[in-house]
Each structure stands twice: as structure tokens, then as C-alpha cells.
């Protein structure tokens, strides 16, 4: 894209800003009396460039210009229900100058009208759309009630009786948004481009009324409205007319360190992150779920038309996750996630190539959804309260009936939940596996900081006091073990574990826990409340049916 | 009108480049227009800025750790003071300090890191003021990188800085407070201009500020998509700019600098380029496209001029600062 070099267009645009209700005072007046820089050398008739009273073209409007040959590349998008083909109707008339293929002075009835400065076709710049209309708002499609219903976020066309209108064939054309004879609002728009008025005549985005991006400015909506992220013409992102073809840049160019919006740019640069800059052109809003090719973009988790600041208790989605698709606990796609984990399951459940466990486990399960299934012998209470009714270590505020969110563990280490001033959510963390708090998995001295993550809910005092398992203190303090060596924090799937060997999140980390040396056995056996037995080898010691 | 001449040249493409300029890298505007800007080099790390080192010195570097990598992570705001180039790098948590004459490198702070250093400015005593946005503070260092002071008076989240050394006033663009604060050399709040809004004198996330050669204050009012001219006392004078992707319009304006001719150079993170305007808002030139080659950008941020007509542009996601030589507005000469 070399549009920045097109100085000529700058002149055109600067002049176009001069608003007027009469075509005579607009840049569409190409005669010698026109106010723009693109005008005829000597032709002083205003209308002749487009219209003629006699011998007009077969098109309507007494058209005085040839029909652009095309073909034009129409706009396409996987989420569009309309079917724009080759331009029709009045849009062809506009394109007879604005696709840059026909000289501005080439009319049907006159010899070529000479233009000042040797200009022939539309000079490069934003007014020259080219024949590629893929990066422009679609035109020349039937906009009927069936389309509005199929899309679900379009106004009923029966209401288009004001400034924005369809043509006689019921098609949306350039003239729906532009009036070539009236430049009152600039860019020949039929309504002011500010305050959403123009776009929202047709576009009725679910959730937009309460969305932060709508309400960001006092006296909402934002005066720049849709144009903050979308360009109706020559959009960098083509599909969905986003302002950049690099998905995350649409977001991160405001969400950066200067404080215009929450600084996510710095978050995704952290050592552990959802790396939105790695994939480009992979994400599609209509992609099948669970995601088939792993990737992450801002819009995988956020709906910029609906996201807001509302808080919600686990397991429900909070405002920032409102209106995004998900995968439910059964592995089925849902149109709008109700629970936070459904957003995570889009990628962290049934998708091929999903990362394996961070520690080498006795039982390996890469599918996070199966790890948290409420039918499991044990699991952290993400989808439902946990299986174990006896957890004496739980701190005030938590009970065995509690559920938690994925973000109770996976979050920003400098976010509000961690006592910091940074943004909430698992965008990035200084701790591995996008954990918001320290979680030492190796051998070492016990401290409040070593297992900061676990001690958020599980009382350090209770654990080290051996309130539940009577040998916690001996393992954690004396033998310098990590919680992670015996416990698998997500859970053990019902298809792999059972209610005898895998209660209490027991799934050994094979880095530290090996089979008992004589029998080759490695298991824990649940023998009732706070009773059990282990057969394994750890820290150099052989345990055979070591019971408590 | 010289400004008009720039545009005319670009528009008509009729002129031929004068034979004067012998150029190494990309030039802007491209031929046949008269070149105004020449790409010189890209700075990515302290390579070439370690100064003359003896073998013993280099071994000592390794042993003491002072030989640590000075690679840029995501350069943001820039400042110049004579031969010194300061590069605020929020992801590295430091300000890189290059001496372009002595070819030496230093980082601020000497040890540790700041929360989010986004811009820097040098006061009349040579002290280096750093805007730490996340800390909501201005941190002052001496040339050796020792922290001298830390000020928060009247500051919510500092972004762009500009020192008016003659009057001893530091202008601080504070996007979250939607105002420009003025501090003295002791970090005391002297004045503050603006509140959130769209009208003359109001701001909507002002992200950068610079001074013109006459001491006039220019504020990059990012989400009003305009540049505002203020008198030194904060009185609103004029503004220009509109939101859009056309040349002359702003999509995500991010950095602002003024050259010796009074032209305003404004980077745009979405346009991946820099646009140059005269003080009446007429577009003189635009350069840069998305990419990684010389003269191409990926999320450009801060821009700065040194006193020898070198232009520096922080090319944030390309992890470098690009250096250009400004050939000036006068025919073939430097300003």
C-alpha cells in the first residue's frame, strides 16, 4: 500500500473538507469554476462531466459517461450474508470516474475534455478506489428483510426511508451513503460520519449499546464511532473493513503504554503470553469450533462490539468476554459463551496440537475440558463444585461448594487480582504457563511465595499443620517437595483415572516420583476421609503401601 | 509559499531531482521529486557504541556483566540533546542512551528497571527526565544513570515530554488526565491545560507534546485525531487534523516532533509511516509503509530531531530506531 505517497490525494482531500449543499461548490464541480484542484482547462459547464440532456447512455440519470468495463473485485467476507457481485445501478456511474479506468474528461457527447495539470484518470489517492472493491464497503446487493434476518445484526430495510436509502431495485449502492450533489457533511455523505449515525442506520450490532468502545467518550457514543476501527473504503484489513490487515494492530494501536486504553501491548510482550502477534490471517470469526488450527488474536476472546466493564462471579463470563463464541463442557460450539471456561475451551480442549501438561504426568491429558469434567474423580471446581467434600485448608470465602474461573489461576501477575495496577486477564504474565502467581514446581524450600498460587485459596497454616493429609509438612517443608509433584492442578479425567487412585488431584509428576523399585508399581490409594496409602519411590526413598 | 511548492512538486511530479544529493538509502519523497529525507541507518542495539575497548576492558565487561546486551525490545519515545540520543524502551524497562559522537552507550537506570519508560527529555542542567507511565511518575537521572528524583505532582500517567529550557518549563502530555501539565525543574506543578472533550483547548488522550523553534507548544491530541497549537501559557491557538486513512489524516497518531523549519513530523502506528505538515496543517510529505526494510515501519512511535538535522523514528515492533538525514526545506541545503 503506497497511499501515503499520494500527495495529490492530499490536496483533493483537504479541499473536499469544504462542505457545501450545492454541487457547484464541491469538488464534483469539475468545470473551471470548481473549487478543487482537479478541474477542466476551459470547460465551464458543471453538469456535462456526468450528465447530458440528449444522447445519454442507456443507464438512467441522462448519464454522459461510458460504462466502466471492469471486472471489479467485489468485497467478500466469511461473515457476510449479502452477495455483492459486479457493481450495478448507480454504483457503475460513480465507478466511471472512481475506479480510475476512465478519464475524467471522457464524456459521451463531447470530445475529451482537457483537465488542468494533464490529469486524465482519477489521480491515485483515496478517491480512486481502483477496480478492486474488496477493501470497500460492499455495494450492489439486495438488502431485503431476508438478509436482515439472516445476518441478525442489520436493521429492517423497511425503515430505510430517511437519508440512507436503497435504490429502486432494493439494492444498496454508493448513493445509499453518498449524495454526489451535496457535500454538506464532507465526503458527500448523506449523514454526518460522527456519532454512529450513518453506520448505525443499517448496522445494529448486538451488545453495542452497552459496549465500552461505544461508551468510551463522555456524551457517548464516541464521536469517531465506527471509524475508530473501521475504514469504509480502502480498509487495511479488507474483510470486515478493519483499519489494519494485522488483526492485533487494530487493537494494540490504542491498547498500548500511553494510557489511551488498557495497555495490552505490554502484556502480550511478557515471557508467558497469549501471543497475538504470532498468527496472521488465520483467525476467522466464522471458524469451526473447537479451533482446528491453533492461533490467538484479540478477537478470539473479545468481542469489541460488546465488551464492557461489567463484573461477574465465576463461572460466568464478565463484561470483557461478553458476546464471544465458546465451546461448552460437552465440546460443542456455543454462539455466545455463558461461562468463562467456554472461551478457554475454544482452543484448550479438543483442538489438535493443544499443548500438553507442563509437567510429565503419570496420566497425560492434553484436553483441558476433560480435565475439568464434573464426572472426574477429582478436579479443580471450574465447571462445577469439586468432588471432595472435605477440604479443611480452604480460606474464608471459599467452600467446597465454590466454583472458580480459569482466571483465578491464569492471569496477569501485575493485574488487580494480584494486587497490581495492570489489566485483568490472561494476556501475559511474568510467570510460566500464564499463571498470575508464583507456583514452584521444582524441589526447594517452602515459603509463602513459593506456592503463592495455591496459598491464595488453601491456607498455608492449615496445609503445614497437616489438617488434611497428615504428612504435608514432612513432604513440603522437610523434603522440600512441591505441591505439583503429587497434585495435578487441573484434574484427572474419568476415562483415565478412577475414584481409588486419583482422588485429591493425585497424578504424580514423573520428574520426581517414580515407580516403587521392587514391584514397579506407582499409585496412590484412597482409603476414606484423610486416609490413604502410597506405593512409589520419591526423594530416593522407596514407599511400599505407605499408609496413613 | 515553500510549503505549497512541496505539494505541487509531489502532485505534478514534473520536477527533476537536483544533482546535488548523493544518497545511500531510500529517499523521500521518491524520485523524481526533490529528496527531502535520506535513510542513514538503523540502530538496534549498542553494536558500534561500546567505544574503543581494550581486550582487558572487554574481558572486564563480560566479568562484570556490563557487557550485557543492549538490544532494543520495543523503542517508544525519543529525545535528543546534542550528540545524545535517548530511547525510552518500556518493555526493556530502560532508557537507552547513545552518544552519537563518542559512540558510547549507557542505560538508565544503571541497575534494575523502570515500570514503563515511554519518553525522555533533557533539562537545562543536563538531567534526564523519564516518563514512567505505569508508575505515574517522572523519574530524573543524571548522565551516569543514577536516579536523582521522582516526581508525581499533578501527574496521572505521563506519556510525551518536552523541556522548554529557556523558560525552565517541562510540558507533560498526560493522556489519562486529558491534559498537558507544566512542571518546573523541581517537579512542582506550575500549570495544567485542558480537560477531556472535543472543543478548542480540550483533549481526548493527548499522547505527545513538542516545542517549535519559537517556543510554541504543539500537542498530539490522539483520539481527537488532531494536532493542537498552544501558546506557552496554554492558550489555544489553532488545530488541524482529521480522523481517517487518507494522506493528511490520522489513524493512530503516536509521536510528534518539530524540526528547525517549524515543520511537524507525526508518526502514525496504523499508517506505518510519518507525515510532515507545516504549521498551518498543510501536508508536505508522507513516508513509510508497512514492512521491515529500510524506510519501512511496523508500529512507529516516537520521533525526534537532533541539532544536526538527523531525524530519529522509533520503529517499535521492528525493534529499532531508524535514522534519517533531513535535507532541509531550502534548496539542496540544510536548515
In the sheet that B320-326 helps form, which strands lie side by side, from edge to edge?
B27-28, B37-43, B320-326, B310-315, B300-305
Grid cell 456455543 in the structure block, residue: A334
Whether chain B has a CB inside 8 Å of the CB on A231: the answer is yes
Q: Residue B66: pLDDT band by 50, 70, 90 thresholds?
A: low
Contact indicator for B205, B197 with CB cutoff of 8 Å? no
- In three-state secondary structure terms, A209 is helix
Contacts of A13 in chain B (CB under 8 A): 244, 246-249
Contact indicator for A100, A128 with CB cutoff of 8 Å? yes
Compute CA distances A109 → A51, A121, A231, whole Å: 9, 18, 36
Residue B63: the pLDDT is 58
Contact indicator for A277, A248 with CB cutoff of 8 Å? yes
Compute CA distances B124 → A60, A524, B83, B110, B165, whole Å: 70, 71, 15, 22, 5
* Contact flag A266-B91 (C-beta cutoff 8 Å): yes
Residue A274: the pLDDT is 96
For residues A27-49, give the mean pLDDT. Answer: 94
Residue A242: the pLDDT is 92
Residue A482's φ and ψ, nearest 5 degrees, are: -100, 150
CA distance A31 to A43: 5
Q: What is the CA angle A338-A344-A345, rounded to 5?
A: 85
Contacts of B12 in chain A (CB under 8 A): 117-118
What is the H or E stretch that residue B120 is in? Answer: strand B117-122
Residue B24: the pLDDT is 65
- Flag whether pLDDT at A16 surpasses 90: no
Least confident of A204-213, A290-299, B218-227: A204-213
CA distance A37 to B12: 11
Burial of A461 (0-12, 13-18, 19+ CB in 10 A): exposed
Helices (H) and strands (E) in chain A, counts: 13, 12
Q: Which residues contact A8 (CB under 8 A, 6 or more apart)?
A: A123, A124, A125, B10, B11
Least confident of A48-57, B230-239, B262-271, B310-319: A48-57
Burial of A371 (0-12, 13-18, 19+ CB in 10 A): buried
| DSSP sequence for A61-105 | TTB-SPPP----B----TT--S---S--HHHHHHHHHHTS-S-TT
Compute CA distances A367 → A186, A345, A490, A495, A507, whole Å: 54, 9, 10, 12, 15
Q: Residue B245: pLDDT band by 50, 70, 90 thresholds?
A: confident
Contacts of A235 in chain B (CB under 8 A): 245
Whether chain B has a CB inside 8 Å of the CB on A275: the answer is no
CA distance B179 to B201: 9
- Flag whether pLDDT at B16 surpasses 80: no
Least confident of A208-222, A318-332, A378-392, B265-279: A208-222
Contact indicator for B194, B218 with CB cutoff of 8 Å? no
Q: Residue A326: pLDDT band by 50, 70, 90 thresholds?
A: very high
Write the pLDDT tens digit of every residue in A358-369.
Answer: 999 999 999 999
Whether chain B has a CB inside 8 Å of the CB on A238: the answer is no
Domain ranges, ordered by start, for chain B: 42-326
- Chain-centroid distance of CA A239 in Å reads 14
- In three-state secondary structure terms, B66 is coil
Contact indicator for B37, B303 with CB cutoff of 8 Å? no
Write the pLDDT tens digit of every residue in B139-148.
Answer: 999 998 999 9
Residue B58: the pLDDT is 64
Query: What does the mean pLDDT of chain B come to?
Result: 87
CA distance B310 to B298: 20
Select the residue of A4, A9, A266 nearest B288 (Cβ to Cβ): A4
* Contact flag B205-A258 (C-beta cutoff 8 Å): yes
| Distance of residue B205 Cα from the nearest chain A Cα, in angstroms | 6
Q: Residue B47: pLDDT band by 50, 70, 90 thresholds?
A: confident
Least confident of A249-253, A255-259, B148-152, B169-173: A255-259
Residue A111: the pLDDT is 83
Q: Residue A2: pLDDT band by 50, 70, 90 thresholds?
A: very low
- In three-state secondary structure terms, B129 is strand
Q: Residue B52: pLDDT band by 50, 70, 90 thresholds?
A: low
Whether chain B has a CB inside 8 Å of the CB on A224: the answer is yes
C-alpha cell belonging to residue A318: 464478565
Grid cell 510460566 in the structure block, residue: A432
CA distance A177 to A180: 10
* Contact flag B175-A2 (C-beta cutoff 8 Å): no
Residue A1: the pLDDT is 37
Residue A4: the pLDDT is 38
Write the pLDDT tens digit of every residue in B294-333.
Answer: 999 999 999 999 999 999 999 999 999 999 999 987 543 3
Whether chain B has a CB inside 8 Å of the CB on A243: the answer is yes
Whether chain B has a CB inside 8 Å of the CB on A272: the answer is no
- Chain-centroid distance of CA A290 in Å reads 16
Residue A223: the pLDDT is 63
CA distance B240 to A71: 39
Residue B259: the pLDDT is 94
Beta-strand relationship, B300-305 and A513-514: unpaired
Residue B334: the pLDDT is 39
CA distance B175 to B221: 9
- Flag whether pLDDT at A19 surpasses 90: no
CA distance B265 to A445: 56
Q: Residue A194: pLDDT band by 50, 70, 90 thresholds?
A: confident
For residues A165-190, give the mean pLDDT. Answer: 94
CA distance B48 to B136: 34
Whether chain B has a CB inside 8 Å of the CB on A6: the answer is yes
Residue A348's φ and ψ, nearest 5 degrees, are: -95, 15
pTM score, two decimals? 0.83
Residue A195: the pLDDT is 67
Q: Within 10 A of A544 (CB to CB), how many other CB atoms are there? A: 14
- Flag whether pLDDT at B196 surpasses 50: yes
Contact indicator for A189, A178 with CB cutoff of 8 Å? yes
What is the H or E stretch that residue B117 is in? Answer: strand B117-122
CA distance A140 to A133: 11
Q: What superfamily in CATH does domain B42-326 come from?
A: TolB, C-terminal domain (2.120.10.30)
Q: Within 10 A of A446 (CB to CB), how many other CB atoms are there? A: 22
- CA max distance for chain B: 62
- Alpha helix locations (H) across B39-141? 55-64
ipTM of the complex: 0.72
Q: What percent of chain A has pLDDT over 70?
A: 95
Query: What does the mean pLDDT of chain A come to?
Result: 91
- Flag whether pLDDT at B7 surpasses 50: no
Category of A516 on φ-ψ map: left (φ > 0), alpha (ψ -120 to 50) or beta:
beta
| Distance of residue B307 Cα from the nearest chain A Cα, in angstroms | 27
| Distance of residue B118 Cα from the nearest chain A Cα, in angstroms | 7
Which of A239 and A29 is assigned the larger pLDDT?
A29
Interface test with A, best of B31, B195, B252 (most A CBs within 10 A): B252
For residues A84-95, give the mean pLDDT. Answer: 94
Contacts of B275 in chain A (CB under 8 A): 4
Closest of A38, A53, A36 to residue A107, by C-alpha: A53
For residue A195, the 8-state DSSP code is G
Least confident of A225-229, B55-59, B115-119, B198-202: B55-59
For residues A444-448, give the mean pLDDT. Answer: 96
Length of chain A equals: 548
For residues B263-281, give the mean pLDDT. Answer: 95
Interface test with B, best of A258, A265, A273, A278 (most B CBs within 10 A): A258
Q: What is the CA angle A484-A487-A491, rounded to 5?
A: 120
Least confident of A19-28, A424-433, A514-523: A19-28
The CB-side HSE value for A215 (13 A sphere, CA atoms) comes to 11
CA distance A23 to A394: 74
* Contact flag A13-B246 (C-beta cutoff 8 Å): yes
Residue A221: the pLDDT is 47
Contact indicator for B274, B319 with CB cutoff of 8 Å? no
Residue A6: the pLDDT is 42
Partners of residue B88 on adjacent β-strands: B95
Amino acid at each position: 500500500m503506497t497511499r501515503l505517497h499520494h500527495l495529490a490525494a492530499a490536496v483533493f482531500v483537504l479541499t473536499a473538507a469544504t462542505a457545501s449543499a450545492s454541487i457547484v461548490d464541491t469538488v464534483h464541480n469539475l468545470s473551471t469554476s470548481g473549487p478543487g484542484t482537479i478541474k477542466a482547462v476551459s470547460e465551464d459547464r458543471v453538469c456535462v462531466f456526468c450528465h447530458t440532456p440528449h444522447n445519454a447512455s442507456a443507464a438512467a440519470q441522462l448519464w454522459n459517461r461510458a460504462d466502466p468495463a471492469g471486472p471489479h473485485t467485489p468485497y467478500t467476507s466469511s461473515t457476510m450474508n449479502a452477495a455483492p457481485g459486479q457493481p450495478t445501478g448507480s454504483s457503475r456511474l460513480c465507478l466511471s470516474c472512481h475506479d480510475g479506468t476512465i478519464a475524467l474528461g471522457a464524456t459521451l457527447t463531447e470530445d475529451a475534455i482537457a483537465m488542468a495539470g494533464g490529469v486524465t484518470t482519477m489521480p491515485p489517492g483515496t478517491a480512486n478506489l481502483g477496480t478492486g472493491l474488496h477493501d470497500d464497503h460492499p455495494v450492489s446487493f439486495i438488502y431485503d428483510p431476508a438478509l436482515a434476518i439472516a445476518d441478525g445484526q442489520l436493521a429492517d430495510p423497511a425503515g430505510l426511508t430517511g437519508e440512507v436509502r436503497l435504490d429502486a431495485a432494493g439494492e444498496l449502492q454508493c448513493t445509499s451513503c453518498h449524495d454526489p450533489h451535496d457535500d454538506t457533511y464532507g465526503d458527500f455523505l448523506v449523514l454526518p460520519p460522527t456519532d454512529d449515525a450513518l453506520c448505525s442506520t443499517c448496522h445494529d450490532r448486538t451488545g453495542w449499546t452497552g459496549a465500552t468502545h461505544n461508551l468510551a467518550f463522555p456524551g457517548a457514543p464516541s464521536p469517531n464511532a465506527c471509524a475508530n476501527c473501521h475504514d469504509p473504503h480502502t480498509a487495511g484489513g479488507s474483510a470486515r473493513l478493519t483499519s489494519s490487515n494485522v488483526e492485533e494492530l487494530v487493537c494494540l494501536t490504542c491498547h498500548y503504554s500511553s494510557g489511551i486504553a488498557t495497555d495490552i501491548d505490554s502484556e502480550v510482550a511478557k515471557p508467558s503470553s497469549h501471543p497475538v502477534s504470532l498468527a496472521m490471517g488465520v483467525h476467522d470469526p466464522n471458524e469451526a469450533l473447537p479451533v482446528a488450527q491453533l492461533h490467538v488474536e484479540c478477537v478470539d476472546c473479545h468481542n469489541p462490539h460488546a465488551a464492557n466493564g461489567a463484573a461477574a462471579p465465576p463461572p460466568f463470563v464478565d463484561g470483557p468476554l461478553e458476546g464471544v463464541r465458546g465451546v461448552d463442557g460437552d465440546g460443542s460450539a456455543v454462539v455466545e459463551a455463558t461461562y468463562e471456561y467456554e472461551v478457554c475451551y475454544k482452543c484448550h480442549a479438543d483442538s489438535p496440537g493443544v499443548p500438553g501438561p507442563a509437567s510429565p504426568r503419570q496420566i497425560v491429558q492434553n484436553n483441558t475440558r476433560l480435565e475439568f469434567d464434573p464426572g472426574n474423580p477429582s478436579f479443580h471446581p471450574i465447571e462445577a463444585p469439586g468432588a471432595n467434600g472435605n477440604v479443611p485448608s480452604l480460606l474464608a470465602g471459599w467452600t467446597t461448594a465454590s466454583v472458580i474461573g480459569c482466571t483465578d489461576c491464569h492471569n496477569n501477575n501485575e493485574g488487580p487480582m494480584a494486587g497490581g495496577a495492570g489489566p485483568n486477564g490472561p494476556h501475559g504474565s511474568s510467570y510460566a504457563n500464564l499463571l498470575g502467581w508464583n507456583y514452584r514446581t521444582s524441589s526447594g524450600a517452602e515459603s509463602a511465595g513459593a506456592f503463592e498460587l495455591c496459598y491464595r485459596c488453601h491456607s498455608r497454616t492449615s496445609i503445614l499443620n497437616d489438617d488434611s493429609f497428615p504428612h504435608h509438612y514432612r513432604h513440603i517443608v522437610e523434603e522440600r517437595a512441591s505441591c505439583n509433584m503429587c497434585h495435578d492442578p487441573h484434574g484427572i479425567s474419568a476415562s483415565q483415572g478412577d475414584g481409588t487412585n486419583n482422588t485429591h488431584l493425585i497424578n504424580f509428576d514423573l520428574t520426581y516420583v517414580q515407580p516403587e523399585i521392587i514391584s514397579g508399581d506407582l499409585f496412590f490409594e484412597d482409603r476414606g476421609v484423610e486416609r490413604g496409602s502410597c506405593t512409589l519411590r520419591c526423594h530416593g526413598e522407596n514407599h511400599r503401601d505407605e499408609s496413613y | 509559499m515553500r510549503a505549497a511548492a512541496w505539494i505541487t512538486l509531489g502532485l505534478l511530479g514534473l520536477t527533476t531531482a537536483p544533482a546535488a544529493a548523493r544518497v545511500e538509502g531510500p529517499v523521500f519523497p521518491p524520485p523524481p521529486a526533490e529528496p527531502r529525507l535520506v535513510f542513514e541507518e538503523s540502530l538496534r542495539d549498542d553494536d558500534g557504541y561500546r567505544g574503543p575497548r581494550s581486550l582487558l576492558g572487554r574481558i572486564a565487561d563480560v566479568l562484570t556483566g556490563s557487557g550485557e546486551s543492549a538490544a532494543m525490545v520495543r523503542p517508544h519515545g525519543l529525545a535528543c540533546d546534542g550528540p545524545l540520543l535517548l530511547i525510552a524502551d518500556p518493555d526493556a524497562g530502560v532508557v537507552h542512551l547513545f552518544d552519537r559522537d563518542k559512540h558510547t552507550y549507557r542505560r538508565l537506570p544503571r541497575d534494575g528497571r523502570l515500570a514503563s519508560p515511554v519518553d525522555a527529555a533533557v533539562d537545562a542542567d543536563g538531567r534526564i527526565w523519564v516518563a514512567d507511565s505505569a508508575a505515574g511518575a517522572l523519574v530524573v537521572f543524571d548522565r551516569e544513570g543514577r536516579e536523582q528524583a521522582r516526581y508525581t505532582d499533578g501527574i496521572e500517567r505521563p506519556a510525551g515530554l518536552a523541556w522548554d529550557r529557556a523558560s525552565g518549563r517541562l510540558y507533560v502530555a498526560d493522556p489519562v488526565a486529558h491534559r498537558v501539565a507544566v512542571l518546573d525543574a523541581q517537579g512542582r506543578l506550575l500549570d495544567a491545560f485542558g480537560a477531556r472533550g472535543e472543543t478548542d483547548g480540550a483533549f481526548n488522550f493527548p499522547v505527545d507534546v513538542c516545542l517549535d523553534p519559537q517556543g510554541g507548544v504543539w500537542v498530539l491530541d490522539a483520539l481527537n485525531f488532531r494536532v493542537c497549537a498552544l501558546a506557552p501559557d496554554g492558550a489555544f491557538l489553532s488545530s488541524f487534523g482529521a480522523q481517517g486513512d487518507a494522506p493528511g489524516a490520522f489513524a493512530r497518531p503516536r509521536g510528534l516532533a518539530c524540526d528547525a523549519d517549524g515543520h511537524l513530523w507525526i508518526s502514525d502506528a496504523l499508517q506505518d509511516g510519518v507525515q510532515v505538515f507545516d504549521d498551518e496543517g498543510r501536508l508536505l510529505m508522507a513516508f513509510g509503509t508497512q514492512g521491515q526494510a529500510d524506510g519501512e515501519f511496523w508500529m512507529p512511535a516516537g520521533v525526534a530531531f537532533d541539532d544536526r538535522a538527523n531525524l530519529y523514528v522509533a520503529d517499535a515492533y521492528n525493534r529499532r530506531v531508524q535514522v534519517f538525514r533531513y535535507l532541509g526545506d531550502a534548496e539542496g541545503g540544510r536548515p
